[in-house]
Structure 1
Amino acid sequence: MAGKAMAKDSVAGRSGAGRMARGLLIAVALLALSGCAETKQGQKSAVQGQARAVGGFKIGEPYQVKGVWYYPKEDFGYDETGLASWYGPGFHAETTANGETFDQNELTGAHKTLPLPSLVRVTNLENGRSIIVRINDRGPFVPGRIVDLSRRSAQLLGFEGQGSAKVRVAILPEESRAIAAAARAGQAGVSVADISPDGAPKPVAAPRAAVQIEGASPVARQVAERPAFDPSQTVAGATVDGRFLPAAVVADTPVRSNGRLYVQAGAFTVYDNANRLRARLSDLGTTRIDPTIVGNTQYFRVRIGPLSSVEAADSILNQVIEAGNNGARVIVD
């Protein structure tokens, strides 16, 4: 989604009678730098000193980016591996896809299809560091990346310098339902008590005429209501400006020492279809079919690898996509 660019400016001086001109240029440059610093400080203060936009709940319609279709949905069983990237300075204080204010120093992130907002656990499979992140944006749209994290998230996970990392992203179902309910309530201007445990507004029955049996005493009806789930019961964090924000808590998680990278070109319920794709991509490298059971359905996954590096995975992925397999992705196994 987000790119990071750095530029260096240089001013070449001339000799001789240009000394005074050089002095003027230096003075102007110092003034410009001072103004730039004041502007950046002003932007930072704008985020820190003002109430951030609360945003709302959003799933969204299917959308297309660079020829690839994405289908947002509520998926409270989401658990995938892949590559993470990060974004920050160029988007600081901008508006996220669900209307919140992006702060590169908060633990937030972007995902292509998960509900906004959601809470996910992101684990760096290279060093075992794990944090909770609030998903409030769409992206990343760089092939092979499954999540785009804020700069602070990348720092805590230990991959700010390298730019990407092998990760596992798993949604927290109950916590995600709870913050979705709060976001929906904020959108509608209603109390969280009027939201069902699954996040949807509580249905209201149509009024009916009272029926009274002669001689019978009215019986009081008691309805046990499920209390709203508070995500702070299970996740360290606090509600700020109407949003639950995870705290900067890093957990150490046992992981495999070397997660192997693959490009998954597709998954099929019919073996012959998978085998045809495997044969078509065999020139790109070691290609195989990995069967798996999801629910009660067997799938045959076509994979290329293992691959030696992120760069190698990116290269193979681009070739697989160019061959017409837009749903291909990088996984870690």
Structure 2
Amino acid sequence: MKKIFKPAHCAMGLMAAVFLSGCAETTFLSSSIKHAGSDKPVAGHYKVGNPYQIQGVWYYPAEDFEYVETGIASWYGPQFHGKPTANGEVFDMNQVSAAHRTLPLPSWVRVTNLENGRSLEVRVNDRGPFAHGRILDMSRRGAQLLGFEKQGTARVKVEILKDQSLALKNSMVNQIAAKDSPIKSAGMAKPQVSAQSLSVPDGGKAAAQPAPVQRQVMASPEPMVQTPTREPQVQAMSNTVRTFPVSETQMFVQAGAFSKFENANRVKASLAAVGGDVEVSQVLVNGQDFFRVRVGPVQDVARADQILENVIQAGYPAAKIIVEKGKG
């Protein structure tokens, strides 16, 4: 495992959410991904990884190309600058990148700051954060562009970019295949091919053309090298920020979602002492009813962190902080 999460610097600002229309675009300077202090491209590899446990919580990396989640993002910087990321690249806090606990490495996501409406496409190439109440660790540059470097955390929406992530995967996997297993004949033994005339079998009839002259033919000395299939061009790192209108959001600590109301109600009763109002709400997910057990709404990140730890200690290690559009 790479690291322990960088703690938040201060409390959250105003609550906000994203509408999917009327975007204004601000373009910043673009740059390629490089080694810290070098002009050479970073050499990393594609990986998903096995399940792992941090601070009593299990995480299950997977190729989830439909991933969408809301929660709290943080950022990391100087203490990891120039060190390897989880997929073998080199972390540069002055480039835009991110760490995620379960998404494939690397993959592309869109991160939207729900407080100010800023949205940025980000390349995930590292594991983390491992604080219970965070879903994404941005590089310092990413936090600057999304506008939460000084406050340390932000309410965000993270959604994977399926097409870009698949193209990135295919490009890296095919590069490895072409490098590790080329088909070459230059170093192989040259087979000898010969031909000679044979006598006509009993009852047979000789062909009208002259019998071939016996000869030897050497195989071509030219090497044959397999050319890898050309993949769609993978998008380079972009520091383009789009800004959307925002509206109020609410934070909840969700202990879990259950298919039976009785189970949800028992969990609610067990959380009476964690602090805050505990509620059970019904939601339809992929045609199936679930009953969510949540504490809140919670007004600030510090309070949400405290309640989350209480819920985890009460026996619900998969609990998490949820951010959603406010009522009204």
Same fold (TM over 0.5): yes
Deviation at 1:46, TM superposition (A): 6.6
Q: Quote how far apart the aligned CAs of 1:231 are.
A: 4.5
Structure exhibiting the larger radius of gyration computed from Cα positions? 2
Residue 107 of structure 1, CA deviation:
1.2
Q: 1:187 to 1:304 in 2, by over 3 A?
A: same
Distance (whole Å) between structure 1 residues aligned to residue 131 and residue 8 of structure 2? 15
Q: What amino acid sits opposite 1:273 in the alignment?
A: N
Q: Is it true that 1:140 corresponds to 2:155 in the alignment?
A: no
- After TM superposition, give the deviation of residue 151 of structure 1 in Å: 0.3
1:316 is matched with: 307
Which residue number in structure 2 is paired with residue 261 of structure 1? 251
CA RMSD of aligned residues (A): 2.2
**Post-superposition shift, 1:149?**
0.4
1:171: Cα distance to partner?
A: 0.5
Matches within 5 A, 1:13-24: none
Residue 122 of structure 1 is matched in structure 2 by 111
1: CA distance, partners of 2:283 / 2:133: 21
Alignment-mate amino acid for residue 133 of structure 1: V
**Pairwise CA distance, 1:143:** 1.0
* Distance (Å, rounded) in 2 between the aligned partners of 1:228 and 1:49: 27
Q: 2 CA distance for matches of 1:266 and 1:76? A: 23
Using the TM superposition, give the Cα deviation of residue 294 of structure 1 relative to its aligned residue in structure 2, in angstroms. Answer: 2.2
Asked whether the 8 Å contact 1:81–1:166 carries over to 2, the reply is yes
**Residue matched to 1:68:** 57
- The alignment of Structure 1 onto Structure 2 pairs a total of residues equal to 248
Structure 1 match to 2:282: 291
Greater share of residues in helix: 1
Whole-angstrom distance in 2 between the partners of 1:99 and 1:331: 31
1:1-333 to 2 correspondences below 5 Å? 1-3=4-6, 47-189=36-178, 228-232=231-235, 238=236, 245=237, 247-256=238-247, 258-283=248-273, 284-333=275-324
AA partner of residue 158 (structure 2) = V
Alpha-carbon displacement from aligned partner over 1:57-92 (angstroms, at most 9, x marks no partner): 111011001111000101111111000000011111
Mapped partners of 2:41, 2:179: distance in 1: 20
Greater relative contact order (Cα 8 A, min sep 6): structure 1 or 2? 2
Query: Contact 1:52 / 1:101 at 8 angstroms: preserved in 2?
Result: no
**CA separation of 1:190/1:272 partners in 2, compared to 1, >3 Å: closer, same or farther?**
farther
Is the 8 Å Cα contact of residues 171 and 234 (structure 2) preserved in structure 1?
no
Percent of aligned pairs sharing the same letter = 50
Residue by residue over 1:135-177, the C-alpha shift from the partner in whole angstroms, topping out at 9 and shown as x without a partner, is 0011100011000000000000110001100000000011111
**Alpha-carbon separation, structure 2, partners of 1:273 and 1:91:** 43
How far is the alpha carbon of 1:270 from its aligned partner? Answer: 1.6
